[in-house]
Structure 1
Amino acid sequence: MKSILLVCSDGRLRASLADGLAASFAVQEAEDAAAAKAFLMAAGAGCDAVLIDTGLRAADGPELCRSLRSKGIDMPILLLSEARGEADVVAGLDSGANDYVLKPFSMEELRARLRAHLRISATAESAVRTIGPYAFRPSAKQLFERARNRTIRLTSKEVAVLKYLHAADGRPVAKHTLLMDVWGYNNAVSSHTLETHIWRLRQKMEDNPANARLLLTNRDGYRLNHAV
Protein backbone atom coordinates (compact mmCIF):
# COMPACT_ATOMS: atom_id res chain seq x y z
CA MET A 1 0.00 0.00 0.00
CA LYS A 2 1.34 3.43 -0.95
CA SER A 3 2.12 5.85 1.87
CA ILE A 4 0.91 9.48 1.99
CA LEU A 5 2.23 12.22 4.27
CA LEU A 6 -0.68 14.50 5.18
CA VAL A 7 0.37 17.98 6.36
CA CYS A 8 -2.46 19.96 7.97
CA SER A 9 -2.50 22.31 10.98
CA ASP A 10 -6.24 21.90 11.61
CA GLY A 11 -6.59 18.81 13.80
CA ARG A 12 -10.22 18.09 12.93
CA LEU A 13 -9.67 18.51 9.20
CA ARG A 14 -6.51 16.41 9.36
CA ALA A 15 -8.38 13.60 11.10
CA SER A 16 -11.20 13.77 8.56
CA LEU A 17 -8.81 13.71 5.58
CA ALA A 18 -6.76 10.89 7.10
CA ASP A 19 -9.89 8.84 7.65
CA GLY A 20 -11.03 9.36 4.05
CA LEU A 21 -7.60 8.50 2.61
CA ALA A 22 -7.05 5.43 4.79
CA ALA A 23 -9.22 3.28 2.52
CA SER A 24 -6.58 3.51 -0.22
CA PHE A 25 -3.33 4.62 1.43
CA ALA A 26 -1.20 4.29 4.53
CA VAL A 27 -1.46 7.79 6.00
CA GLN A 28 1.24 9.53 8.04
CA GLU A 29 0.39 12.89 9.62
CA ALA A 30 2.27 16.13 10.30
CA GLU A 31 0.75 19.21 11.91
CA ASP A 32 3.15 21.78 10.44
CA ALA A 33 6.03 22.34 8.04
CA ALA A 34 8.71 21.56 10.62
CA ALA A 35 7.17 18.17 11.42
CA ALA A 36 6.79 17.38 7.71
CA LYS A 37 10.44 18.18 6.97
CA ALA A 38 11.64 16.16 9.95
CA PHE A 39 9.60 13.16 8.85
CA LEU A 40 10.72 13.28 5.22
CA MET A 41 14.41 13.72 6.03
CA ALA A 42 14.47 10.94 8.63
CA ALA A 43 16.03 7.61 7.76
CA GLY A 44 13.46 5.05 6.73
CA ALA A 45 10.60 7.53 6.45
CA GLY A 46 8.97 5.61 3.64
CA CYS A 47 6.60 7.93 1.82
CA ASP A 48 5.31 8.03 -1.76
CA ALA A 49 3.51 11.39 -1.92
CA VAL A 50 2.83 14.52 0.14
CA LEU A 51 -0.56 16.16 0.56
CA ILE A 52 -0.43 19.69 1.99
CA ASP A 53 -3.43 21.68 3.23
CA THR A 54 -2.44 25.32 2.88
CA GLY A 55 -4.27 26.40 6.02
CA LEU A 56 -5.16 30.01 6.65
CA ARG A 57 -2.52 31.57 4.40
CA ALA A 58 -2.34 30.74 0.70
CA ALA A 59 1.47 31.03 0.84
CA ASP A 60 1.91 28.25 3.42
CA GLY A 61 1.66 25.35 0.99
CA PRO A 62 3.87 26.79 -1.77
CA GLU A 63 6.54 27.80 0.77
CA LEU A 64 6.71 24.27 2.16
CA CYS A 65 6.62 22.75 -1.32
CA ARG A 66 9.50 24.97 -2.48
CA SER A 67 11.52 24.06 0.60
CA LEU A 68 10.98 20.33 0.07
CA ARG A 69 12.00 20.55 -3.58
CA SER A 70 15.18 22.42 -2.60
CA LYS A 71 16.09 19.50 -0.32
CA GLY A 72 15.78 16.99 -3.14
CA ILE A 73 12.29 15.67 -2.30
CA ASP A 74 11.05 14.54 -5.73
CA MET A 75 7.89 12.62 -4.88
CA PRO A 76 4.45 13.96 -5.95
CA ILE A 77 3.23 16.93 -3.89
CA LEU A 78 -0.42 18.03 -3.98
CA LEU A 79 -1.73 21.24 -2.45
CA LEU A 80 -5.25 21.63 -1.02
CA SER A 81 -6.68 25.15 -0.78
CA GLU A 82 -9.77 27.32 -0.80
CA ALA A 83 -10.35 28.97 -4.18
CA ARG A 84 -8.64 32.37 -3.89
CA GLY A 85 -7.88 33.14 -7.50
CA GLU A 86 -5.76 32.17 -10.46
CA ALA A 87 -2.64 33.82 -9.01
CA ASP A 88 -2.63 31.46 -6.02
CA VAL A 89 -3.01 28.41 -8.24
CA VAL A 90 -0.14 29.58 -10.44
CA ALA A 91 2.04 30.29 -7.39
CA GLY A 92 1.32 26.82 -6.02
CA LEU A 93 2.21 25.06 -9.25
CA ASP A 94 5.29 27.23 -9.80
CA SER A 95 6.55 26.26 -6.33
CA GLY A 96 6.97 22.70 -7.55
CA ALA A 97 3.60 21.16 -6.70
CA ASN A 98 2.30 18.49 -9.05
CA ASP A 99 -1.32 19.48 -8.54
CA TYR A 100 -3.46 22.16 -6.87
CA VAL A 101 -6.79 20.82 -5.61
CA LEU A 102 -9.43 23.46 -4.91
CA LYS A 103 -11.95 23.09 -2.10
CA PRO A 104 -14.61 21.82 -1.96
CA PHE A 105 -13.64 18.47 -3.46
CA SER A 106 -14.87 14.93 -3.06
CA MET A 107 -12.70 12.37 -1.30
CA GLU A 108 -13.12 10.06 -4.29
CA GLU A 109 -11.65 12.74 -6.58
CA LEU A 110 -8.74 13.38 -4.20
CA ARG A 111 -7.88 9.68 -4.00
CA ALA A 112 -8.08 9.42 -7.82
CA ARG A 113 -5.74 12.40 -8.26
CA LEU A 114 -3.24 10.87 -5.85
CA ARG A 115 -3.36 7.52 -7.65
CA ALA A 116 -2.82 9.23 -11.01
CA HIS A 117 0.25 11.12 -9.81
CA LEU A 118 1.66 8.01 -8.15
CA ARG A 119 1.29 6.08 -11.41
CA ILE A 120 3.16 8.78 -13.31
CA SER A 121 5.86 8.93 -10.65
CA ALA A 122 6.32 5.15 -10.59
CA THR A 123 7.02 4.97 -14.32
CA ALA A 124 9.29 8.03 -14.57
CA GLU A 125 12.97 7.14 -14.94
CA SER A 126 13.87 10.22 -12.87
CA ALA A 127 11.52 9.22 -10.05
CA VAL A 128 13.08 8.71 -6.63
CA ARG A 129 11.99 5.53 -4.87
CA THR A 130 12.35 4.72 -1.17
CA ILE A 131 14.13 1.53 -0.11
CA GLY A 132 14.51 1.39 3.67
CA PRO A 133 16.79 4.30 4.68
CA TYR A 134 17.76 4.99 1.07
CA ALA A 135 16.51 7.28 -1.65
CA PHE A 136 16.91 5.15 -4.79
CA ARG A 137 17.64 7.21 -7.92
CA PRO A 138 17.68 4.88 -10.96
CA SER A 139 18.58 7.61 -13.46
CA ALA A 140 21.67 8.53 -11.39
CA LYS A 141 22.51 4.87 -10.63
CA GLN A 142 22.73 5.49 -6.92
CA LEU A 143 21.32 4.97 -3.45
CA PHE A 144 21.49 7.97 -1.13
CA GLU A 145 21.28 7.55 2.63
CA ARG A 146 20.24 10.88 4.14
CA ALA A 147 20.99 9.95 7.75
CA ARG A 148 24.66 9.29 6.97
CA ASN A 149 24.86 11.68 4.01
CA ARG A 150 26.43 8.99 1.84
CA THR A 151 25.95 7.92 -1.75
CA ILE A 152 26.23 4.32 -2.97
CA ARG A 153 27.04 3.83 -6.64
CA LEU A 154 25.25 1.09 -8.56
CA THR A 155 25.88 -0.73 -11.83
CA SER A 156 23.27 -0.79 -14.57
CA LYS A 157 22.26 -4.37 -13.76
CA GLU A 158 22.03 -3.60 -10.02
CA VAL A 159 19.70 -0.70 -10.85
CA ALA A 160 17.58 -2.96 -13.06
CA VAL A 161 17.26 -5.60 -10.32
CA LEU A 162 16.27 -3.04 -7.67
CA LYS A 163 13.75 -1.37 -10.00
CA TYR A 164 12.11 -4.71 -10.73
CA LEU A 165 11.96 -5.71 -7.06
CA HIS A 166 10.67 -2.27 -6.01
CA ALA A 167 7.91 -2.42 -8.60
CA ALA A 168 6.79 -5.73 -7.07
CA ASP A 169 5.82 -3.74 -3.95
CA GLY A 170 7.17 -6.25 -1.44
CA ARG A 171 6.02 -9.35 -3.29
CA PRO A 172 8.65 -12.02 -4.09
CA VAL A 173 10.00 -12.22 -7.63
CA ALA A 174 11.19 -15.60 -8.90
CA LYS A 175 14.81 -15.96 -10.01
CA HIS A 176 13.84 -17.11 -13.51
CA THR A 177 11.64 -13.99 -13.88
CA LEU A 178 14.52 -11.69 -12.98
CA LEU A 179 16.88 -13.55 -15.31
CA MET A 180 14.40 -13.36 -18.19
CA ASP A 181 13.37 -9.72 -17.78
CA VAL A 182 16.67 -8.18 -16.61
CA TRP A 183 19.21 -10.26 -18.55
CA GLY A 184 17.12 -11.72 -21.35
CA TYR A 185 17.71 -15.31 -20.29
CA ASN A 186 20.11 -17.17 -22.58
CA ASN A 187 22.63 -19.99 -22.35
CA ALA A 188 25.40 -17.62 -21.28
CA VAL A 189 23.51 -16.48 -18.18
CA SER A 190 22.91 -18.71 -15.18
CA SER A 191 21.25 -18.27 -11.80
CA HIS A 192 24.76 -17.82 -10.39
CA THR A 193 24.92 -14.50 -12.26
CA LEU A 194 21.84 -13.24 -10.44
CA GLU A 195 23.02 -14.59 -7.09
CA THR A 196 26.32 -12.74 -7.52
CA HIS A 197 24.51 -9.46 -8.19
CA ILE A 198 22.28 -9.98 -5.14
CA TRP A 199 25.40 -10.67 -3.03
CA ARG A 200 27.04 -7.46 -4.26
CA LEU A 201 23.90 -5.42 -3.59
CA ARG A 202 23.74 -6.74 -0.04
CA GLN A 203 27.39 -5.80 0.49
CA LYS A 204 26.53 -2.24 -0.56
CA MET A 205 23.19 -1.64 1.15
CA GLU A 206 22.93 -3.95 4.17
CA ASP A 207 24.49 -3.11 7.56
CA ASN A 208 24.98 -6.86 8.05
CA PRO A 209 25.00 -8.61 4.64
CA ALA A 210 24.98 -12.03 6.30
CA ASN A 211 21.68 -11.16 8.01
CA ALA A 212 19.88 -9.14 5.33
CA ARG A 213 16.97 -6.89 6.37
CA LEU A 214 16.23 -5.07 3.10
CA LEU A 215 16.96 -7.48 0.25
CA LEU A 216 15.47 -10.80 1.28
CA THR A 217 15.58 -14.31 -0.13
CA ASN A 218 12.15 -15.84 -0.56
CA ARG A 219 12.09 -19.51 -1.60
CA ASP A 220 13.07 -19.42 -5.26
CA GLY A 221 13.36 -15.66 -5.53
CA TYR A 222 13.93 -12.34 -3.85
CA ARG A 223 11.92 -9.43 -2.47
CA LEU A 224 12.43 -6.01 -0.92
CA ASN A 225 11.31 -5.55 2.66
CA HIS A 226 9.23 -2.35 2.65
CA ALA A 227 8.57 -2.62 6.39
CA VAL A 228 12.11 -1.51 7.31
Structure 2
Amino acid sequence: MATVLVVEDDEKIGRLLTSSLRANGHTPSWQRTGSGARAAAATTSYDLVLLDLQLPDIDGVDVCRELRQRQPDCVIVMLTARRDEMDVVVGLEAGADDYLFKPFRMTELLARVRAHLRRSPPAAAPAEPVTVGDLTVDTASRRAFVGTRALTLRPKEFDLLARLIAQPGVAISREQLMADVWDEHWFGSTKTLDVHIAALRQRLGQASDSAAAGVPVITTLRRHGYRLDP
Protein backbone atom coordinates (compact mmCIF):
# COMPACT_ATOMS: atom_id res chain seq x y z
CA MET A 1 0.00 0.00 0.00
CA ALA A 2 1.35 3.42 -0.96
CA THR A 3 0.48 7.01 -0.08
CA VAL A 4 -0.35 8.81 -3.33
CA LEU A 5 -0.87 12.52 -3.90
CA VAL A 6 -3.26 13.26 -6.76
CA VAL A 7 -2.90 16.81 -8.12
CA GLU A 8 -5.75 17.30 -10.59
CA ASP A 9 -8.23 20.17 -11.01
CA ASP A 10 -10.72 18.22 -13.13
CA GLU A 11 -13.45 16.94 -10.80
CA LYS A 12 -14.31 13.85 -12.82
CA ILE A 13 -10.70 12.75 -13.34
CA GLY A 14 -9.77 13.47 -9.73
CA ARG A 15 -12.61 11.36 -8.36
CA LEU A 16 -11.83 8.52 -10.78
CA LEU A 17 -8.15 8.50 -9.84
CA THR A 18 -8.73 8.54 -6.10
CA SER A 19 -11.41 5.84 -6.20
CA SER A 20 -9.31 3.57 -8.44
CA LEU A 21 -6.20 4.00 -6.29
CA ARG A 22 -8.17 3.27 -3.13
CA ALA A 23 -9.70 0.17 -4.74
CA ASN A 24 -6.19 -1.07 -5.48
CA GLY A 25 -5.05 -0.76 -1.87
CA HIS A 26 -3.40 2.66 -1.93
CA THR A 27 -4.09 5.70 0.24
CA PRO A 28 -4.79 8.68 -2.04
CA SER A 29 -4.91 12.36 -1.16
CA TRP A 30 -6.43 14.77 -3.68
CA GLN A 31 -5.42 18.38 -4.27
CA ARG A 32 -6.97 20.53 -7.01
CA THR A 33 -4.30 23.26 -7.19
CA GLY A 34 -0.54 23.68 -7.27
CA SER A 35 -0.58 25.64 -4.04
CA GLY A 36 -2.58 22.84 -2.41
CA ALA A 37 0.00 20.31 -3.59
CA ARG A 38 2.81 22.45 -2.14
CA ALA A 39 1.07 22.65 1.22
CA ALA A 40 0.35 18.92 1.29
CA ALA A 41 3.94 18.01 0.43
CA ALA A 42 5.19 20.29 3.21
CA THR A 43 3.45 18.21 5.88
CA THR A 44 3.14 14.69 4.43
CA SER A 45 5.59 12.28 2.78
CA TYR A 46 4.29 10.57 -0.34
CA ASP A 47 5.41 7.47 -2.19
CA LEU A 48 4.04 8.70 -5.51
CA VAL A 49 2.48 11.85 -7.02
CA LEU A 50 0.13 11.95 -10.01
CA LEU A 51 0.59 15.52 -11.22
CA ASP A 52 -1.54 17.32 -13.79
CA LEU A 53 0.62 19.85 -15.64
CA GLN A 54 -2.24 22.24 -16.43
CA LEU A 55 -3.27 23.58 -13.04
CA PRO A 56 -5.40 26.70 -12.49
CA ASP A 57 -2.89 28.61 -10.36
CA ILE A 58 0.70 27.37 -10.91
CA ASP A 59 2.38 25.74 -13.89
CA GLY A 60 2.68 22.02 -13.24
CA VAL A 61 6.36 21.99 -14.22
CA ASP A 62 7.14 24.46 -11.43
CA VAL A 63 5.16 22.33 -8.98
CA CYS A 64 7.07 19.26 -10.16
CA ARG A 65 10.41 20.97 -9.61
CA GLU A 66 9.45 22.01 -6.07
CA LEU A 67 8.06 18.58 -5.17
CA ARG A 68 11.26 16.95 -6.39
CA GLN A 69 13.38 19.21 -4.19
CA ARG A 70 11.14 18.70 -1.17
CA GLN A 71 10.70 14.93 -1.54
CA PRO A 72 13.62 13.51 -3.58
CA ASP A 73 12.59 9.86 -3.16
CA CYS A 74 8.99 10.36 -4.25
CA VAL A 75 7.94 9.07 -7.67
CA ILE A 76 6.34 11.78 -9.82
CA VAL A 77 4.17 10.83 -12.80
CA MET A 78 2.97 13.71 -14.98
CA LEU A 79 -0.53 13.69 -16.44
CA THR A 80 -0.66 15.98 -19.44
CA ALA A 81 -2.78 16.92 -22.40
CA ARG A 82 0.25 18.66 -23.94
CA ARG A 83 1.37 16.61 -26.92
CA ASP A 84 4.49 18.59 -27.74
CA GLU A 85 7.56 16.43 -27.11
CA MET A 86 9.50 19.37 -25.68
CA ASP A 87 6.86 19.89 -22.98
CA VAL A 88 7.32 16.27 -21.93
CA VAL A 89 11.12 16.55 -21.89
CA VAL A 90 10.95 19.77 -19.82
CA GLY A 91 8.71 18.04 -17.30
CA LEU A 92 10.97 15.01 -17.04
CA GLU A 93 14.03 17.20 -16.64
CA ALA A 94 12.21 19.13 -13.90
CA GLY A 95 12.20 15.93 -11.87
CA ALA A 96 9.30 13.78 -13.08
CA ASP A 97 9.89 10.06 -13.39
CA ASP A 98 7.32 9.40 -16.08
CA TYR A 99 4.32 10.83 -17.92
CA LEU A 100 0.96 9.82 -19.35
CA PHE A 101 -0.97 11.64 -22.06
CA LYS A 102 -4.61 12.46 -21.47
CA PRO A 103 -6.94 10.78 -22.07
CA PHE A 104 -5.35 7.68 -20.55
CA ARG A 105 -6.62 4.20 -19.76
CA MET A 106 -6.94 3.48 -16.06
CA THR A 107 -5.39 0.04 -16.54
CA GLU A 108 -2.32 1.70 -18.04
CA LEU A 109 -2.04 4.23 -15.23
CA LEU A 110 -2.33 1.54 -12.54
CA ALA A 111 0.32 -0.52 -14.34
CA ARG A 112 2.66 2.49 -14.29
CA VAL A 113 1.96 3.04 -10.59
CA ARG A 114 2.75 -0.60 -9.84
CA ALA A 115 5.96 -0.46 -11.87
CA HIS A 116 7.24 2.72 -10.24
CA LEU A 117 6.46 1.60 -6.71
CA ARG A 118 8.41 -1.60 -7.11
CA ARG A 119 11.43 -1.34 -4.81
CA SER A 120 12.97 -4.80 -5.21
CA PRO A 121 16.34 -5.03 -6.99
CA PRO A 122 15.91 -5.19 -10.77
CA ALA A 123 16.30 -8.47 -12.61
CA ALA A 124 19.91 -9.56 -13.13
CA ALA A 125 21.15 -7.24 -10.36
CA PRO A 126 23.79 -9.12 -8.29
CA ALA A 127 23.43 -9.49 -4.53
CA GLU A 128 27.07 -8.60 -3.85
CA PRO A 129 28.58 -5.16 -4.51
CA VAL A 130 29.94 -4.79 -8.04
CA THR A 131 32.86 -2.54 -8.95
CA VAL A 132 33.73 -1.39 -12.45
CA GLY A 133 36.63 1.05 -12.50
CA ASP A 134 35.95 3.61 -9.76
CA LEU A 135 32.20 2.91 -9.68
CA THR A 136 30.77 0.57 -7.03
CA VAL A 137 27.10 -0.37 -6.75
CA ASP A 138 25.76 -2.23 -3.71
CA THR A 139 22.19 -3.40 -4.32
CA ALA A 140 21.81 -4.82 -0.81
CA SER A 141 22.24 -1.40 0.81
CA ARG A 142 21.07 0.53 -2.28
CA ARG A 143 24.20 2.66 -2.32
CA ALA A 144 26.52 3.66 -5.15
CA PHE A 145 29.97 5.23 -4.97
CA VAL A 146 32.49 6.83 -7.30
CA GLY A 147 35.69 6.22 -5.43
CA THR A 148 34.74 7.10 -1.85
CA ARG A 149 32.13 9.65 -2.90
CA ALA A 150 28.51 8.54 -2.50
CA LEU A 151 26.16 9.16 -5.41
CA THR A 152 22.76 10.68 -4.71
CA LEU A 153 20.37 8.80 -6.96
CA ARG A 154 16.61 8.64 -7.27
CA PRO A 155 15.14 5.13 -6.85
CA LYS A 156 14.79 4.33 -10.56
CA GLU A 157 18.18 5.88 -11.34
CA PHE A 158 19.75 3.49 -8.85
CA ASP A 159 17.84 0.51 -10.25
CA LEU A 160 18.91 1.39 -13.79
CA LEU A 161 22.56 1.78 -12.81
CA ALA A 162 22.43 -1.54 -10.93
CA ARG A 163 21.02 -3.24 -14.03
CA LEU A 164 23.70 -1.80 -16.30
CA ILE A 165 26.63 -2.61 -14.01
CA ALA A 166 25.37 -6.19 -13.61
CA GLN A 167 26.56 -6.81 -17.19
CA PRO A 168 29.39 -4.36 -17.94
CA GLY A 169 30.37 -4.26 -21.59
CA VAL A 170 27.17 -6.04 -22.66
CA ALA A 171 24.64 -4.36 -24.96
CA ILE A 172 21.21 -4.28 -23.30
CA SER A 173 18.15 -3.43 -25.36
CA ARG A 174 15.74 -0.66 -24.44
CA GLU A 175 12.95 -3.22 -24.10
CA GLN A 176 14.99 -5.33 -21.70
CA LEU A 177 15.91 -2.34 -19.55
CA MET A 178 12.27 -1.23 -19.35
CA ALA A 179 11.16 -4.76 -18.43
CA ASP A 180 13.85 -5.26 -15.78
CA VAL A 181 13.86 -1.82 -14.18
CA TRP A 182 10.25 -0.72 -14.62
CA ASP A 183 7.85 -3.54 -15.51
CA GLU A 184 7.63 -6.45 -17.94
CA HIS A 185 4.18 -5.25 -19.00
CA TRP A 186 5.24 -1.64 -19.58
CA PHE A 187 2.80 0.44 -21.61
CA GLY A 188 3.72 3.29 -23.92
CA SER A 189 6.81 5.33 -24.68
CA THR A 190 10.29 4.61 -23.32
CA LYS A 191 11.33 8.28 -23.33
CA THR A 192 11.51 8.11 -19.55
CA LEU A 193 14.43 5.70 -20.02
CA ASP A 194 16.35 8.27 -22.06
CA VAL A 195 15.85 10.94 -19.41
CA HIS A 196 17.02 8.61 -16.64
CA ILE A 197 20.10 7.70 -18.70
CA ALA A 198 20.86 11.41 -19.19
CA ALA A 199 20.50 11.99 -15.44
CA LEU A 200 22.84 9.09 -14.66
CA ARG A 201 25.45 10.42 -17.06
CA GLN A 202 25.24 13.81 -15.42
CA ARG A 203 25.62 12.39 -11.91
CA LEU A 204 28.56 10.19 -12.90
CA GLY A 205 30.18 13.16 -14.59
CA GLN A 206 29.72 15.39 -11.54
CA ALA A 207 31.24 12.74 -9.28
CA SER A 208 34.19 12.16 -11.56
CA ASP A 209 37.37 14.05 -10.67
CA SER A 210 41.12 13.56 -10.78
CA ALA A 211 40.88 11.06 -7.94
CA ALA A 212 38.29 9.01 -9.78
CA ALA A 213 39.37 8.99 -13.40
CA GLY A 214 38.14 5.47 -14.05
CA VAL A 215 34.42 6.15 -14.07
CA PRO A 216 32.60 3.96 -16.59
CA VAL A 217 30.56 5.58 -19.35
CA ILE A 218 27.08 4.75 -20.60
CA THR A 219 27.25 4.24 -24.35
CA THR A 220 24.17 4.73 -26.53
CA LEU A 221 23.60 2.03 -29.14
CA ARG A 222 21.38 3.45 -31.85
CA ARG A 223 18.21 1.47 -32.52
CA HIS A 224 19.09 -0.96 -29.74
CA GLY A 225 19.79 0.33 -26.23
CA TYR A 226 22.71 1.06 -23.92
CA ARG A 227 25.96 -0.43 -22.66
CA LEU A 228 28.10 0.37 -19.58
CA ASP A 229 31.70 0.58 -20.76
CA PRO A 230 34.74 0.62 -18.43
**TM-score with structure 2 length normalisation?**
0.48
